[in-house]
Structure 1
Amino acid sequence: MAEIISMPQLSDTMKEGTVIKWNKKIGDKVSEGDILAEIETDKATQDFEIDISGILLFIGVKEGETTRVNDVLAIIGDEGEDISHIIYELEYKKQEKKNQEFKEKKKKIFISPVAKKMAKEIGIPIDNIKGSGEYGRIIKKDIEFYEKIKLKKSEDQNTVRTLHSSIRKKIAEHLTHSKFSAPHYYLFSEINADKLIEFRKNLNDKLSLEERISFNDIIIKAVAKSLVKHPDMNVSWNDEEVIIHPHVHIGIAVAIKDGLIVPVIKNADQKSLLQISKEIKDKALRSKSKKIQPEEIENSTFTVSNLGMYGIESFTSIINTPNTSILSVGSIMRRPIVKNYKIEIGNVMKITLSCDHRIIDGAKGSEYIHSLRKFLEDPITILF
C-alpha cells in the first residue's frame, strides 16, 4: 500500500529543507535503512534514511528545490500500484491552498483618476503598486516612482541573482539576533609570537606531515586552558539565568561556500594538541562538504575565529550566542618591538575578544586576556 513520505524535520530549528540529491529514481526499489536523499537543513546537509521498503513511485520535490517540513517529499508503495488518485488529491490541495492565499491577498484597489490614467498610458499593472496616499490610495507620485524602479531594473538586467540557501538564511538570522540582543564590546591585545613560532617548529620537527600542528591548534588549547582558569568566562546567558558550564567546548568558525559553520571541539582542555589537530582537520573537511552532523555543531561554550591564514592583521567578530565571548585571531606579522629596552624585529599577533557586556565586564575580560597572553607567549606551559 502506498505511503506518503514527508519532508522530515532534521534539526530542532528546521522549518524547510532543500533536496540536494536523490539517491533513487522513480521505479527503483528502496529498502529500510537506504539513504533516499541528501537534504540541506538550516544547519548542514544530512542523509535522509528511509524506514520502510517498497518502490519509489513519486518524487514531490526536485533536486535544488525547497519545501516546508511535512510537505510531500515522495511516495513509496508496491510495484505497479496506481497512485494517480493520491497525486490528484495532492495537486488539488496544493491548488486550493494557492487559491486561498490569492483570495487573502486580493483586495479593492484605491487609485486617483490621474494615477489611473498614467498607469494605463504607460502600461503599468496597478496590482503591483503600493499606494502612499490616504488609506493606501495610489497617487501620481507612486506611478512615477514605480516607473523609475522599472527603468532601473531594465538597466540592471545583467545582474546575477541567486536565492539564499537554508544555511545562509539561518546564519543571517542567528547573527542579526546576536548582534542586536547582546551588547558587544571589544578588547584588543598584541601577542609576542616569537616563542609560539619556535614551539610549533620544535613540535612539527618530531611529527609526520599529516600530523603537523597549526598555530590555530595551539591557540585552541591555550583558549581552553585559560577558560579553566577563568570559569566565569565559560558561561551562557538567557533571560532568567547565567549558566556556568562545567565543560569547555570550543567552537571553531569554518568558512564554507554558503557562509560559515561552527564545529565544536568538546572538552578541548582535556585533549592533547595532536587530538585537537586531528579533530579540527576532520570536522573542517566535513563542514566544507556539508557532511558534518548537527550534534557536532551544537553546545559550544566559547568560539574562536581565526583569519590569520588570509593575512588579516586584526578584526572583530559577532558573538556566537548563547556564548558570551568570541576570540578573533589575526595573522602573525614581523614588526619592530621593544625587547630589553632595545628595538628589535620580532613577531606579533593581534587578538580581539568580543564580550557580552550583560555578563562579562571589562575587568573580567581583561583578566582572561592576560592569562591567554601568558600561555601564547610561553606556549610550552599549555602542556602542563
Structure 2
Amino acid sequence: MAIPIEMPKLSDTMEEGVLSAWLVDEGEEVSAGDVLAQVETDKATMDLEAFDEGVLLKQVIGEGDAVPIGELIAVIGEAGEDISDLVDDAGGDGAAEPEADPDADADPDADAEDASAEPEVEPEPAPEPSGDGQLSERTPEPVPAGTDAEGRRIKASPLARRIAQEHDVELAQVDGSGPEGRIVRRDVETHVEKQEAAPEPTPEPEPAPEPEPTTEPEPAPQPEPSVPEAPSYAMPDEEAAYESEGITQMRETIARRLAESKYSAPHYYLTVDIDVERAIEVREDLNELAEEQGRAKISFNDFITKACALSLHDHPYVNAAYRPDEGEIHKHNRVHIGIAVAIDEGLITPVIRDADRKGLSELARETRALADRARDRDLEPEEFEGATFTTSNLGMFGIEEFTAIINPPNSAILAIGEIRDTPVVEDGEVVPGKRMKVTLSCDHRVVDGAKGAHFLDTVKSYLEEPMNLLL
C-alpha cells in the first residue's frame, strides 16, 4: 500500500518548509529511519526521515520548492504500484503535461471552435549536432549541481550551497567538516578565502617590437591651448537605485512573531546598573583553573545565564507565559533559558535546558556548542524550542544599553550591555570602576513593575557577589 510523505511540522513557529535537497532518488529502496531529504525551516535545516520501508515511488516536489505543512512531498510503496490517485488528490505531480498522441481520435464533444481550429504544425526535428563547438553524441553530459563527478549527491547545508553559488564554487572541491562530511558555511568560506589568497599568475611580457630605421625627425606640432572641462556629477546610467533581496523564511517568521509580540504584549522596561568588578576577578580565577584542567573557558555571559537561572526560582512570574487562548498564566516549574544568537539570516535562540542545575563550566561548554550549531543552521527542534526566559547580549558590539522585544510566549527578556570603565564613588572618593547596564523588558499582563524590579535586584546581587553562583 502506498504511503504518503507530507511536509512535517519541524518547529513551533513553522508554517511551511523548503525542500533543500533530496538524498534518495526515485526508485531507490528505503528503510525506516533512512533520511529521505533535508528540509529548511524558519529555524534550521533538518533531516526528513522515513517511518516505513519500501521504494521511493515519487518525488512530488523538487529541490528549492516551498510547501505548507501537511502537503504531499513524496510517496513510498511497492515497486510498480499505481499511485496516480494519491498524487492526483494532492493536486498533481508537478510534472509536465504529456504530449498529445497525434494518432488519437478527436474528442466528439469538443467545441466547434476547437474543431475548426487549424491543426498544429508538427515541429521539425532538431538538426544533428556538429562537431564544431556544438554538443555531439560523444559530448559528456554536464554533472548536476550538488553532485560529484560520479553522480553521488554532495551533503551540504542550504546556507553553504547559497554561499558556494554566490562565489561560483564547486561543492565537489570543498572539504566538509560537518557530520558525515557534510559541508557547512565555514567550509565554503575557508575555501573562498584560500582562493582569494592564492596569487594570480603573472602574464609573460610581450616581446618589444624591433626598432624601425630612423629618419630625419619631423618638428613636433605645437599643442593648442585647451580649456579644462567642468566636472560631471551625474550618476552612471547603469547604477541601480537599490538592491533587492528576497525575504527568507527566518526573516519572515521573525517579523511576524516580534510584531505580534510588540503590539499584543504591553511592554515596559526596567534598567539597572551593576558593579561587575568582583565578577571579573572571579571569572579570571576560574578561567586559570579551567585552562589547567583543559575545560572550556567561562564567559561573562555564562555568569549572567547562571544568575538569571537562579533568580527565576524566586520570581516565578518572570518565568511564566501568558496564554490568552486558555485564559491562564503558566508558571513554569523548570528553567530553560534561550540565548539569542545572531546568524546571517537573522536571529535564533538555542535553549539551555535546566540552566539552574548546571555549573558554570557546563553552561560555557553547552552554550558554545549550541551557538556554533545555530550559525550552521544545524540545530534540532528540541534545541531551540521551549525557552521560558530569554537573554540578548549586544555588549560585545560596544552597545551600552538597549531594549529587546519579548520572545513569545515568554513574559520577559533581559538585554545586556557592554562592561564599561567608569568613575564611581566609594567611601566618599572617586575611583575607577567596572559597570554594566542590563534592561528587563516585561509583559505587563504577567509581570508587574514591582515583580520585575525585585527580579532585577536578585540578578544584581548574584553578579555583585558572584561566589554565590558557585554554591
Cα shift at 1:269: 1.4
Paired residue for 1:109?
none
Question: Which has more helix, going by share of residues?
Answer: 1
Rounded to whole Å, the distance in 1 between the matches of 2:260 and 2:290 is 43
Alpha-carbon distance in structure 2 between the residues aligned to 1:45 and 1:14: 12
TM-score (norm 2): 0.63
Q: Does 1:238 align with 2:323?
A: yes
Report if aligned partners of 2:340, 2:392 keep a CA contact under 8 Å in 1.
yes
* CA contact 2:11–2:385 (8 Å) conserved in 1: no
Are 2:6 and 1:6 aligned?
yes
User: What 5-or-longer segments of structure 1 have no aligned partner?
Assistant: 96-153
Matched residues in 1 for 2:2 and 2:317: separation? 56
Spell out, residue by residue over 1:82-101, the C-alpha distance to the aligned partner (whole angstroms, 9 max, x if none).
87887788675879xxxxxx
Q: Which amino acid aligns with 1:59?
A: Q
**Retained in 1: the 8 A contact 2:58–2:75?**
yes
> 360, 365, 368: which one pairs with 2:452?
365
Task: Identify the residue that residue 188 of structure 1 maps to in structure 2.
Answer: 271
Contact 2:71 2:90 in 1 (8 A): no
Partner of 1:216: 301
Given the alignment of the two structures, is residue 286 of structure 1 paired with residue 373 of structure 2, yes or no? Answer: yes
Structure 1 residues 89 and 375 mapped into 2: Cα distance closer, same or farther (>3 Å)? Answer: closer
Q: Are positions 1:23 and 2:23 aligned together?
A: yes
Aligned CA distance change for structure 1 residues 326 and 283 (closer, same or farther; 3 Å): same
Distance 1:69 1:277 in 2: 36
Paired residues of 2:19 and 2:66 also in contact (CA < 8 A) = yes
Gaps of 5+ in 2: 96-236
Q: Structure 2 CA distance, aligned partners of 1:349 and 1:356?
A: 23
Distance 2:240 2:91 in 1: 34
**2:61 touches 2:93 (CA, 8 Å); kept in 1?**
no
Q: Structure 1 residues 159, 53: closer, same or farther in 2, change over 3 A?
A: farther
| Alignment correspondent of 1:46 | 46
Q: Deviations over 1:85-132 (max 9, x none)?
A: 87788675879xxxxxxxxxxxxxxxxxxxxxxxxxxxxxxxxxxxxx
Post-superposition CA distance 1:18-73 (Å, at most 9, x none): 01222123444332211111112234322110123344343232222211223331
**Partner residue of 2:120?**
none
SS class of match (2:432): strand
Worse overlay, 371-380 or 64-73: 64-73
Matches within 5 A, 1:139-154: none
Distance 1:327 1:169 in 2: 23
Per mean C-alpha deviation after superposition, the further-off stretch among 294-303 and 68-77 is: 68-77
Aligned residue for 1:269? Answer: 356
Q: Which has the higher contact order (CA 8 A, sep 6+)?
A: 1
Work out the percentage of aligned pairs sharing the same amino acid: 45
2: CA distance, partners of 1:339 / 1:84: 81
Q: Which residue of 2 aligns with 1:355?
A: 442
Larger displacement relative to structure 2 (362-371 or 317-326): 362-371
Closer, same or farther: CA 223–90 of 1 in aligned 2, 3 Å? closer
Q: Give the equivalent residue in structure 2 for 1:320.
A: 407
Partner of 1:299: 386
* Residue 197, structure 1, aligned to residue 197, structure 2: no
Deviation at 1:297, TM superposition (A): 2.2
Any idea what SS the aligned residue of 1:315 has? coil
Q: 1:192 to 1:295 in 2, by over 3 A?
A: same
1:174 corresponds, among 222, 241, 257, to 257
Bigger-Rg structure (1/2): 2
Aligned length: 326
**TM-score (norm. length: structure 1):** 0.76
SS of the equivalent of 1:48 reads: strand
CA distance in 1, matches of 2:82, 2:241: 46
| C-alpha spacing 1:49/1:195, structure 2 compared with 1 (3 Å) | same
2:255 aligned counterpart, secondary structure: helix
What secondary structure sits across from 2:317 in the alignment? helix
Bigger Cα displacement from structure 2, 219-228 vs 230-239: 230-239
Rounded to whole Å, the distance in 2 between the matches of 1:160 and 1:185 is 36
